[in-house]
């Protein structure tokens, strides 16, 4: 796979002035998107006008609309502009830069503006943790969870990198190739894009509420020439994300995608809608990334896992007290018998016993290593990058308690720990996968038995969250 996921261009070698102007360009688009989001909240009261917008795709509670052609000329002169409409004025601020805003030259009026609204389960920090991908490996793992069709790419320049104090802020220039469905691939080339990607947290000007943002805006450089096997496309999309209630994130995004070339209009719209709808998978991506983090560090004492280890020890202490106080015959556990660590029912290792309905099949949680029955088992597919740069997806079993506990972990703390430990780009890691396949024979607390050292201070404990 040496020919894939490598930079096909000469180094950009951006000057400090170039980086500053690209940062300013990103700020302009984010500010414009926030202005439109506040108009959606206050003026539109979250109502999407069906006479202006046509629903073209829905994934879970995320809905993607395209602007009806009748409205485009009527709305072009309105002061509230989409990122694509603001592109020309924004790019003028960087006229001295070696980069140019590719969308300033694109005929964005040839394609409708796309609108994404809706909600997804999780927290704002979860959503941002799932979104941020500062390396190619992290992007490949993310696409395996969200299905955004990334098949090749490279990070061309890192302008701002996440820190433990601000783990979701990043600004970089990326080159990506989006794959086409099999039935389309014979007539349509894969499209590549070079864009500025900007993520982070900011505040709404009117209320001061914290929101997240994710900007993708095409840029071009002398070094980023077109490639023979792909056609260069343009994109300008900015999403705004806000905590709607305790476990729901509101999603709002506007923009367009222009694949260029001789592509049917309907195919273009469908491709853009699929990319925008993939945002529905970001919080699930975050949960799987947190599970992978717990897999990598189940024998260590980082702050993000400290609460998890403590909770598991407390659960086992409660279980032991319950067993010692229980005298009913039905609750007596035979010496040497294997019991589910969650529901406490006796389980069998023999596959044939399950068909008799007497016992559930036994397996081990890959995180806490305890015995679990089939009813208390949750299967998850975790992705990792192997040492030879292959993407590996493996189905693993976890107990419902571990899954719930990992879900409750702070995505901010996990992201901060990953940054300080320079950890995370390769998923759950081959060494962990190997060791987890051979749990201790008693299904004990080996993974969580080490007390948290009072001398250990994780970087996450020093983070002041916004």
- Please give the backbone phi and psi of residue 135, each rounded to the nearest 5 degrees, phi first: -135, 165
pTM of the model: 0.79
Task: Give the 3-state secondary structure of residue 405.
Answer: helix
**In what helix (H) or strand (E) does residue 30 lie, and over which residues does it extend?**
helix 16-42
Number of neighbouring beta carbons within 10 Å of residue 77: 7
Per-residue pLDDT tens for 41-82? 999 999 999 999 999 999 889 999 999 876 444 443 343 344
Tell me what the mean pLDDT of segment 432-451 comes to: 35
Looking at the predicted structure, is the pLDDT value of residue 338 above 70? yes
Angle at the Cα of 232 from the Cα atoms of 226 and 238, rounded to 5 degrees: 130
Strand partners, 346: 339
Residue with tokens 């109502």: 47
Please write the tens of the pLDDT for every residue from 125-167: 999 999 999 999 999 999 999 888 889 999 999 999 999 999 9
* Mean pLDDT score, 401-409: 93
CA dist., res. 333 & res. 34, Å (int): 60
Instruction: State the CB neighbour count (10 A cutoff) for residue 331.
Output: 11
For the chain, what is the radius of gyration of the CA atoms? 25
Query: What pLDDT does 437 receive?
Result: 39
- Tens digits of residue pLDDT in 100-115: 665 444 444 466 789 9
Cβ 83 vs Cβ 101: under 8 Å:
no
Query: What CA–CA distance (Å, rounded) separates 294 from 345?
Result: 26
- For the domain made up of 16-282, give the CATH fold: Alpha-D-Glucose-1,6-Bisphosphate; Chain A, domain 4 (3.30.530)
HEC readout, 172-184: EEEEEEECCCHHH
Does residue 415 surpass a pLDDT of 90?
A: yes
Rounded to whole angstroms, the Cα distance separating 14 from 426 reads: 28
Q: Is the pLDDT of residue 88 over 50?
A: no
Q: Tell me what the mean pLDDT of segment 166-173 comes to.
A: 98
DSSP designation for 332: P
Contacts of 4 (CB under 8 A, 6+ apart): 151, 152
Tokens of 448: 């969580």
**Can you read off the two tokens belonging to residue 21?**
């102007």
Q: What is the DSSP letter of 166?
A: B
Q: If phi over 0 gives left and psi between -120 and 50 gives alpha, with beta otherwise, what is residue 235?
A: beta
pLDDT at site 78: 40
Rounded to whole angstroms, how far apart are CA atoms 35 and 206? 10
pLDDT tens per residue across span 351-399 = 444 444 445 566 889 998 889 998 999 999 999 999 888 999 999 999 9
Over residues 5-16, the mean pLDDT reads 94
For the chain, give the mean pLDDT: 77
By residue count, the chain amounts to 466
Q: Which residue's entry shows tokens 């900015």?
A: 238
Name residues whose C-beta falls within 8 Å of residue 78's C-beta, 6 or more positions apart in sequence. Answer: none
Confidence (pLDDT) at 153: 95
Q: What's the CA gap between 122 and 28, in Å, rounded?
A: 28
Q: What is the pLDDT of residue 286?
A: 96
Q: Where are the alpha helices (DSSP H) in 361-410?
A: 400-408
Q: Do the strands 210-220 and 191-203 form a parallel or antiparallel pair, or are they unpaired? A: antiparallel
- Pure H helices in 216-262: none
Q: How far is CA 18 from the centre of its chain?
A: 28
Cα–Cα distance between 278 and 276 in angstroms, integer? Answer: 5
Give CA 286 to chain center in angstroms. Answer: 5
DSSP string, 249-315: EEEEEEEEEE--SS--HHHHHHHHHHHHHGGGGHHHHHHHHHHHHHHHTTTS--HHHHHHHHHHHHH
CATH 3.30.530.20-classified regions of the chain: 16-282
For 102, 103, 214, 264, 274, the CA distances from 278, given in Å and listed in that order, are 24, 22, 13, 22, 6
Query: Distance (Å, rounded) from C-alpha 117 to C-alpha 146?
Result: 17
């Amino acid at each position: 796979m040496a020919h894939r996921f490598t930079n096909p261009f000469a180094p950009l070698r951006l000057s400090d002035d170039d980086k500053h102007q690209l940062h300013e360009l990103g700020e302009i688009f984010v500010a414009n998107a926030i202005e439109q989001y506040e108009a959606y909240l206050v003026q539109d009261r979250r109502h999407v006008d069906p006479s202006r917008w046509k629903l073209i795709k829905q994934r879970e509670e995320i809905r993607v609309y395209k602007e009806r052609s009748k409205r485009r000329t009527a709305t072009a002169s309105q002061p509230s502009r989409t990122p694509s409409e603001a592109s020309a004025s924004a790019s003028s601020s960087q006229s001295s830069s070696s980069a140019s805003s590719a969308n300033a030259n694109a005929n964005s009026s040839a394609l409708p503006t796309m609108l994404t609204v809706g909600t997804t389960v999780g927290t704002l920090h979860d959503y941002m943790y799932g979104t941020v991908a500062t390396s190619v490996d992290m992007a490949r793992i993310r696409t395996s969870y969200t299905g955004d069709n990334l098949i090749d790419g490279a990070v061309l320049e890192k302008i701002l990198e996440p820190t433990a104090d601000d783990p979701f802020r990043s600004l970089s220039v990326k080159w990506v190739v989006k794959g086409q469905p099999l039935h389309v691939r014979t007539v349509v080339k894969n499209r590549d894009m070079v864009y500025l990607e900007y993520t982070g947290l900011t505040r709404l000007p009117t209320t001061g509420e914290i929101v997240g943002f994710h900007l993708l805006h095409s840029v071009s450089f002398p070094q980023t020439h077109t490639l023979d096997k792909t056609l260069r496309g343009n994109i300008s999309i900015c999403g705004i994300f806000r905590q709607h209630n305790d476990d729901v994130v509101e999603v709002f995004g506007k923009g367009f995608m222009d694949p260029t070339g001789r592509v049917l209009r309907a195919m273009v719209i469908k491709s853009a809608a699929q990319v925008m709808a993939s945002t529905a998978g970001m919080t699930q991506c975050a949960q799987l990334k947190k599970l992978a983090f717990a897999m990598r560090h189940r024998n260590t004492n980082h702050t993000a896992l400290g609460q998890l280890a403590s909770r598991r020890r407390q659960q086992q202490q409660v279980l032991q007290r319950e067993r010692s106080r229980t005298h009913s015959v039905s609750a007596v556990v035979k010496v040497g018998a294997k019991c589910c660590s969650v529901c406490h029912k006796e389980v069998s290792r023999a596959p044939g016993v399950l068909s008799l309905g007497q016992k559930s099949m036994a397996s081990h949680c890959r995180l806490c290593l305890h015995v679990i029955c089939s009813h208390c088992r949750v299967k998850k597919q975790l992705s990792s990058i192997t040492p030879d740069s292959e993407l590996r997806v493996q189905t693993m079993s976890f107990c419902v308690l571990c899954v719930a506990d990992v879900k409750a972990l702070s995505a901010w703390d996990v992201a901060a720990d990953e940054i300080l430990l320079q950890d995370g780009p390769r998923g759950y890691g081959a060494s962990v996968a190997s060791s987890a396949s051979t749990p201790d024979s008693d299904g004990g607390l080996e993974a969580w038995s080490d007390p948290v050292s009072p001398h250990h201070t994780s970087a996450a404990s020093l983070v002041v969250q916004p």
